[in-house]
Amino acid sequence: MSEEKQKKNQKKSQKKKKHKKKYRLFWFFVRLQVLFLILVAAGLGWYYFGGYAQKVSALQQEAKKLVRESNEDTFRSVQTSLVYDANGTLVSTLKGEKDVYYLDYEDIPPYAAAAMVSIEDKKFYSHNGIDIKAIMRAAKAMIQNGKVTQGGSTITQQLSRNIFLNHDVKWERKIEEMFIAVELEKVYSKNKIMEFYLNNVYFGNGYYGIQAASKGYFNTEVKNLSLSQIAFLCAIPNNPSLYDPVVRLENTLKRRNRILNQMQEDGKISEETCDQAKAEQIVLNPSQKTKNDYVETYTYNCAIRALMAEEGFIFRQEFDSEEERSSYEEEYDLLYSECQKNLYSKGYRIYTSIDLNVQQMLQDTLDQGLAEFTEQTEDGIYTLQGSAVCIDNHTGYVKAIVGGRNQNLSGYTLNRAYQSYRQPGSSIKPLIVYAPVLERNYTPDTVVADVKTEEGPSNSSGSYEGNISLRYAVQKSKNTVAWNLLEELTPQVGLSYLKAMNFARLDERDERPTSALGGFTNGVSAVEMASAYAALENDGKFREPTCIMKITDAQDNVIIETENQEKEVYKTNASRMMTDMLVSVMKEGTGRGLALSNMPCAGKTGTTNDNKDGWFVGYTSYYTTSVWVGYDMPRELPGLSGASYPGSIWKNFMELLHQNLEPVEFLPYIDEQKAPLDNNEYQQGQEVSPEEGIPQGDIPWP
């Protein structure tokens, strides 16, 4: 074959291949289009015949009705929530105060609207209520990151949600939110919508609207604020818990800077103005308000967590990775913020177990016990502080909670009783060492060795007494015995009891013998210690500490009614033996001199290294009370021990609390080394005398 013919054949072959390839592509696109049409048809069939078309239509009609019936007063109203103590006394009111601080659009600083548009909704002035591209970007980011990393809601959608809807993560709510946003844009101007939004958006800590936030955080009207302060406030609504200026100021400042950068990129401010605003120091100046500080902060926290649980949120303390912990905390913060907002706008009636008379008694006793210490910080807060919690043993509910010394400061202050975590010293021993070993064939009379080991701790007294009883080791708070027993038990097992009682700040690094002496990475709170000791009094059954008994709506329809369910953490007999040993502590041990005059009581002291933290936790059949004393910034307090300031505060308060109450003895434990077993406890086939219940034959007497 000639070379010319070969070339012609090659050209023909190439043409055929191109032709075939062309048709293959053609049929591929045909099949793709057919598949697409089938999917669309299936989707439409699912949409219509699955009932979704009717649902969406109903949501659209409801949206139209809501907007049609609205007027400007709709965006000014708010329902007031009320909190009551155990006797029906009004504790506090929670009101967003939108009606008081409402601003017309003309009175809102232009920078506020510009900041919100730059950071929340760049197309606010051009869209019709929804931004399809923003929704698609948010969906794409969610798919890429496996979670929601950016919002797709316009300012109008956010307003729709805040005024007309709840924050359920359901497709129905999202669809209705979009319908309402579109309807709002038909009825109200853009300026009106921005006015409504800035007067209704939540700025954290009970402040609805930018004027209320300005008064609350800076104690002045918003018209007096600088650009930097306005951007600072506008940083909060995106996530009021994450950007809370009171507890997470650094987060708020970072988002303020991001807003300023966005405003510069959008041409709203110059580079020089942006730099000046970012350099400006933010100093909070809270408005002056008289509050029932510690009761209110604890009550609100308990109420919010109860609402979160009602939403199906599952609280956790343990995580497999830092990523898992971070994801949990993000979800927690978002829902916490949402439920906090509802407290100020839903008109709840919150019924608590707090007794304001007992609360005042506990506050006064703590203040008097620390009155000699007058040193204060630059902010006028006492440097030496204390906290205390009282639990009603009959119900398991918190009866009184004191988070610090009373100074009549403005606004809310740190509630150390549940927000501060400190080293518990020896007060932790009954919980992770002694009660657990009493479940494992130890008794108060078991002989243990009080000896110094090479790697073990020293006793606070510096002396060692050899073979002693377990009861005596508890009485004298022997560090050597607690250390050795936890090593025998293993720290993992000991800490498992605290985990079962939801101690929040435990760490993997706590799995070491030093935990026997309270040497934790983070520490424990007064609420946790009171609830754990209350479990010992309650035959080992733990009840989650809270002060919320019932939450209703404004029409008194019950939303939440707590039951305070019991969970067995310690065995009954072990708990009773532990109580009996703690009674000995009050009579002959480190708590000697602190026993109540006319009421059987049990308790334990706790002191950390260098006298930085002092604890006393004790109980009667009626009440359990924990007391902590120390500096907010830990430092030595000469003379501080569990038996000194904490012990005297505990004794003085409990004496007052038990006036006119009948003495009640603790339930006795069964000494299994001496007492005969019940007939039902003998092994099958064992002969028993019906008259005396004494085993016959070769079975030894226990």
Q: Identify the pLDDT of residue 176.
A: 83
> Residues 478, 468: contact at Cβ < 8 Å?
yes
Q: Identify the pLDDT of residue 344.
A: 84
Closest to 435 (Cα-Cα) out of 500, 388, 391: 500
**Please, which pLDDT band fits residue 138 given cuts at 50, 70 and 90?**
low
**pLDDT at 579 exceeding the cut of 50:** yes
Closest to 483 (Cα-Cα) out of 452, 504, 508, 525: 452
Which residues, 6 or more positions from 478, have their beta carbon under 8 angstroms from its beta carbon?
450, 459, 468, 472
pLDDT digits (tens, 9 = 90+) for 232-285: 999 999 999 899 998 899 999 999 999 999 999 999 999 999 999 999 999 998
Q: Determine the average pLDDT of the residues in 618-645.
A: 96
**pLDDT at 290 exceeding the cut of 80:** no
| Phi (first) and psi of residue 21, to 5 degrees | -60, -40
**Please, which pLDDT band fits residue 144 given cuts at 50, 70 and 90?**
low
> Residues 398, 294: contact at Cβ < 8 Å?
no
Q: Quickly count: other Cβ atoms within 10 Å of residue 124's Cβ.
A: 20
Percent of the chain with pLDDT over 70: 82
588 catalytic residue (yes or no): no
**pLDDT at 404 exceeding the cut of 70:** yes
Judged by average pLDDT, the poorest of 198-212, 229-243, 649-663 is 198-212
Q: Identify the pLDDT of residue 217.
A: 93
Judged by average pLDDT, the poorest of 321-325, 376-380, 488-492, 597-601 is 376-380
Tokens of 334: 């978002």
**pLDDT at 420 exceeding the cut of 90:** yes
**Please, which pLDDT band fits residue 31 given cuts at 50, 70 and 90?**
low
Q: Identify the pLDDT of residue 694.
A: 26
Q: Identify the pLDDT of residue 135.
A: 66
Q: Where are the domains of the chain?
A: 64-306+322-343, 676-702
Judged by average pLDDT, the poorest of 152-156, 184-188, 470-474, 675-679 is 675-679
Tokens of 160: 């729709």
Residue 654, phi-psi category: left (phi > 0), alpha (psi -120 to 50), beta (remainder): alpha
Q: Identify the pLDDT of residue 687.
A: 31
69 catalytic residue (yes or no): no
Q: What is 12-80 written as a DSSP string?
A: HHHHHHHHHHHHHHHHHHHHHHHHHHHHHHHHHHHHHHTTHHHHHHHHHHHHHHHHHT--GGGGT--BP
For 193, the enclosing helix (H) or strand (E) is helix 190-200
Q: Identify the pLDDT of residue 515.
A: 97
Please give the single-letter amino acid code of residue 82: L
**pLDDT at 527 exceeding the cut of 50:** yes
Pick the CATH number of 64-306+322-343 from 1.10.3810.10, 3.40.50.300, 1.10.150.110, 3.30.300.30: 1.10.3810.10
Q: Mean pLDDT of all residues in the chain?
A: 86
**Regarding predicted confidence, which is higher, 310 or 174?**
310
> Residues 618, 650: contact at Cβ < 8 Å?
yes
Closest to 118 (Cα-Cα) out of 273, 234, 254, 270: 234
Judged by average pLDDT, the poorest of 56-60, 137-141, 621-625, 666-670 is 137-141
Q: Determine the average pLDDT of the residues in 411-436.
A: 95
- Of 81, 153, 345, 426, the catalytic one is 426
**Please, which pLDDT band fits residue 345 given cuts at 50, 70 and 90?**
confident
Q: Quickly count: other Cβ atoms within 10 Å of residue 295's Cβ.
A: 26
Q: Determine the average pLDDT of the residues in 476-483.
A: 96
**Regarding predicted confidence, which is higher, 213 or 1?**
213
Most confident of 139-148, 489-498, 676-685: 489-498
Q: Identify the pLDDT of residue 96.
A: 66
Q: What percent of the chain is helix, strand and coil (3-state, nearest 5)?
A: 50, 10, 40
Most confident of 66-80, 161-175, 176-190: 176-190
User: ∠ CA 482-503-437 to the nearest 5 degrees?
Assistant: 30
- Of 97, 118, 120, 338, the catalytic one is 120
Judged by average pLDDT, the poorest of 20-24, 118-122, 277-281, 471-475 is 20-24
Q: Determine the average pLDDT of the residues in 320-329.
A: 92
**pLDDT at 418 exceeding the cut of 60:** yes
Closest to 208 (Cα-Cα) out of 153, 152, 159: 159
Closest to 414 (Cα-Cα) out of 282, 287, 298: 298
Q: Determine the average pLDDT of the residues in 495-500.
A: 98
Q: Identify the pLDDT of residue 698.
A: 27
* Count of CA atoms in the C-beta half-sphere (13 A) of 339: 21
Q: Identify the pLDDT of residue 554.
A: 84
Q: Identify the pLDDT of residue 298.
A: 97
**pLDDT at 678 exceeding the cut of 50:** no
Closest to 80 (Cα-Cα) out of 419, 347, 460, 445: 347
**Please, which pLDDT band fits residue 33 given cuts at 50, 70 and 90?**
low
Count the residues in the chain. Answer: 702
Q: Determine the average pLDDT of the residues in 458-481.
A: 94
Judged by average pLDDT, the poorest of 51-55, 106-110, 222-226, 608-612 is 51-55
**pLDDT at 15 exceeding the cut of 70:** no
Cα–Cα distance, 205 to 201 (Å, whole number): 12
**Regarding predicted confidence, which is higher, 53 or 583?**
583
